[in-house]
Chain A
Amino acid sequence: MKINQKNSQSKQVKLNQVGVEQASSQLLTVDDLTKVFIKGQGFTKSTIAAVNKVSFSLKLNQPEIFTLAGESGSGKSTVAKLILGFEVPTSGSISYKGDKIAKLKGKKEFMRDVQPVFQNPFETFNPLKKIDSYLYETEKNFKMAETDQDQLVEKSLELVGLSTAEIKDKYPSEMSGGQLQRTSIARALITNPSLLITDEPVSMIDASLRMSVINLFKKLKEEQGVSIIYITHDLATAYYVSDRIAIMLRGQVVEMGSVEKVLGNPLHPYTQLLKASIPVPNPANKWASDIALSDLETKEYSRSGCKFSGRCPKVQAICKECEPENYRIEDRDVKCHLYK
């Protein structure tokens, strides 16, 4: 364990130098990010690498929607928490505009620039408080408006397709999930952020209203120049809205590239299985074949070779023994021995 740490530390130093060189051109750089959770105490103690050497970056002044997709337990939400500073990474680093997050954490400038949108809009706001108070509160605390308070709130509500009159004196329970989620986004937009981190923003919203939030992301990227990290398990909306996508499996990114490439023609067997498992809203395309389901969760985390080798239809002997590296093929990174 100690040796491992040393290794990763020396590696980290190297990567940091790279990070400094590129700092000027990157909005967000995630380098070799690892988060290990310790479960239990004493004899039953075990560790789970919820995030395992994840690296990606978003370019400055080039807004895009980047999707982190995966099943539950793939570590995608943990990445969001690490970026927002709610969790501390075990190793690896996250830099925002060239500065380490560890230093920026809790600073007003950083909080202003990076804002989150949470999964459950019904939990985002205190049910006993009127919802507009959050918008004014954000404005006041970040000293966004010097003269006219209402103007900024009105403007950001307008961006999400709401008006002050619609949310004035309303409690969260009086509004629909879609309206709440849009209000939540409006709140995040008050500080004029460069990066929005959205963790499953539409999974709790009704089907007929889901698109109102998804389309809003597109609009924000195009008109406001906001970069968005979209974390989801829903590949259909990911395809619709995003530019690049990273597929996560048990803490690792197994395939990353442009969304048309990765979902249009998946190369990693796991991505292929995921794509084939999305139900298509067309009775003519029913699932035909049967599939194998995953073992116990903890088993897959601690697997030494490829995490997917337990249920991969194309498994080879080498898959169970050593972990595949990232191979660059057809404009994307694939973590699979098949593409050596």
Chain B
Amino acid sequence: MLRVFKRLFRYDKRFRFGFSILTLFIMIALISLFSPYNMKAWNTVPRDMASSLKYPLGTNSMGQDILWQAMVAIKNSLLLGLIAALISRIIAIVLGLLAGYKGGLFDRIVMTINDSFIIIPLFPVLILIASILRTSLSITVLGIIIGLFGWAWDARLFRSQILSLKEREFTKTAVLSGMKTYKIITSEHLPYIIPLIMAATINNVIWVIGMEVTLSMLGLSNLNTPTIGTMIYWALQYQAIFLEKWNWILTPIISCIVLILALYMLSTSISEYLDPRTRLQMIKGE
């Protein structure tokens, strides 16, 4: 594992960039736990201060320290992404694999449900739920809701991979070698599925963070909880662009872009490394 990590870190620029940035963001999230201010409260510091030693990125018009607020926002956004991705992954993997392996009626029922989830206009539904639950919409609840809606595409992806693996000749060889189904899944098929799951997971985190920003910017989440989305929302509410309060509006936007870029690069680099074709090439060369 460590060897793989070293190799990736040394030879893949994308991995180096993605991994460093992500580590930085995770550290920021950890430091934010020691925030000296209550980020839900207003007017804990003087308003509209410029950058100074005491307030490195200044303060906003609501009387909050921008640096500390951004750090807490990053923590909350990452947490949200993690919760939502975890839930949608569990559903997608379980349903996708079961549908792929079982086939028949079970497959058809699951895929019908799956297809309904794919064609439901997700955004209006989320708006509806968010506006009903608005006040009680904590990070965990929002994560669960987004997670419950974000599994359908990936379940289909995993299922299709299973279907094609099932038809590969080496699966038949495994069956005729007397291997049990679970053994075939774990030893023959997982090496092909894991890269797919990893790439899909990171992409899902990206999607969740983006979804939260969209919902918050429309004012459809719990606006007292600082996230990247709510920070942008409040900055816009206070006309940060017209009043040229760049610290306030740009901090969440830039962190959001950098975070998504880092995750994307990480996902492409990992999936390329784990791609069976790359691994084959490396077997041949060594």
Query: Chain A interface (Cβ within 8 Å of chain B)?
Result: 86, 108, 111, 115-116, 118, 120, 123-129, 134, 137-138, 141-142, 171, 173-174, 184, 187-188
Q: Is B187 an interface residue (CB 8 A)?
A: yes
Q: Across the interface, which residues of B come within 8 angstroms of A134, CB to CB? A: 173-174, 177
Q: Across the interface, which residues of A come within 8 angstroms of B122, CB to CB? A: none
- Closest A-chain residue to B279, C-beta based? A128
| Chain B positions 257-286 with a Cβ under 8 Å from a chain A Cβ | 276, 279-280, 283-284
Tell me the smallest distance from the CB of B247 to a CB of chain A, in Å.
51
The contact of B178 among A118, A120, A126, A141, by CB within 8 Å, is A141
| B169→A123 contact, CB < 8 A | yes
Select the residue from B173, B174, B179 with max chain A CB neighbours within 10 A.
Answer: B173
| A126→B179 contact, CB < 8 A | no
The bracket for how many chain B residues form the interface is 10 to 19
Q: Across the interface, which residues of A come within 8 angstroms of B174, CB to CB? A: 126, 134, 137
Q: A115-B176, A173-B283 are in contact. Are A123 and B276 (CB under 8 A)?
A: no
- Nearest 7 Cβ contacts at the A-B interface: A141-B178, A138-B177, A123-B169, A126-B170, A171-B283, A128-B191, A137-B177
| B283→A123 contact, CB < 8 A | no
| B178→A127 contact, CB < 8 A | no
Tell me the smallest distance from the CB of B178 to a CB of chain A, in Å.
3
| Chain B positions 167-206 with a Cβ under 8 Å from a chain A Cβ | 168-170, 172-174, 176-179, 187-188, 191-192
| Chain B positions 79-128 with a Cβ under 8 Å from a chain A Cβ | none
Q: Across the interface, which residues of B come within 8 angstroms of A129, CB to CB? A: 187-188, 191
The contact of A141 among B168, B169, B177, B187, by CB within 8 Å, is B177
9 extra A-B contacts, CB within 8 A, seeds A126-B188, A134-B174, A173-B283: A115-B176, A116-B176, A118-B172, A118-B173, A128-B191, A129-B191, A141-B178, A184-B173, A187-B177
Majority secondary structure, B binding face: helix
* A138–B173 alpha-carbon span in the complex (Å): 10
* A141–B276 alpha-carbon span in the complex (Å): 27
Q: Across the interface, which residues of B come within 8 angstroms of A171, CB to CB? A: 280, 283
Tell me the smallest distance from the CB of A202 to a CB of chain B, in Å.
16
The contact of B173 among A111, A141, A173, A187, by CB within 8 Å, is A187
* A126–B280 alpha-carbon span in the complex (Å): 11
Q: A111-B178, A137-B178, A171-B283 are in contact. Are A125 and B276 (CB under 8 A)?
A: no
- Closest A-chain residue to B281, C-beta based? A173
* A137–B170 alpha-carbon span in the complex (Å): 13
Q: Across the interface, which residues of B come within 8 angstroms of A142, CB to CB? A: 178
Q: A128-B191, A129-B188 are in contact. Are A123 and B168 (CB under 8 A)?
A: yes
The contact of B169 among A118, A137, A188, by CB within 8 Å, is A118
- Closest A-chain residue to B170, C-beta based? A126
| A124→B173 contact, CB < 8 A | yes
Tell me the smallest distance from the CB of A138 to a CB of chain B, in Å.
4
| Chain B positions 11-41 with a Cβ under 8 Å from a chain A Cβ | none
| A127→B280 contact, CB < 8 A | yes
Q: A128-B191, A137-B177 are in contact. Are A120 and B169 (CB under 8 A)?
A: yes
Q: Across the interface, which residues of A come within 8 angstroms of B283, CB to CB? A: 171, 173-174
- Closest B-chain residue to A136, C-beta based? B177
Tell me the smallest distance from the CB of A113 to a CB of chain B, in Å.
12
* A118–B176 alpha-carbon span in the complex (Å): 11
* A138–B177 alpha-carbon span in the complex (Å): 4
Q: Across the interface, which residues of B come within 8 angstroms of A137, CB to CB? A: 174, 177-179
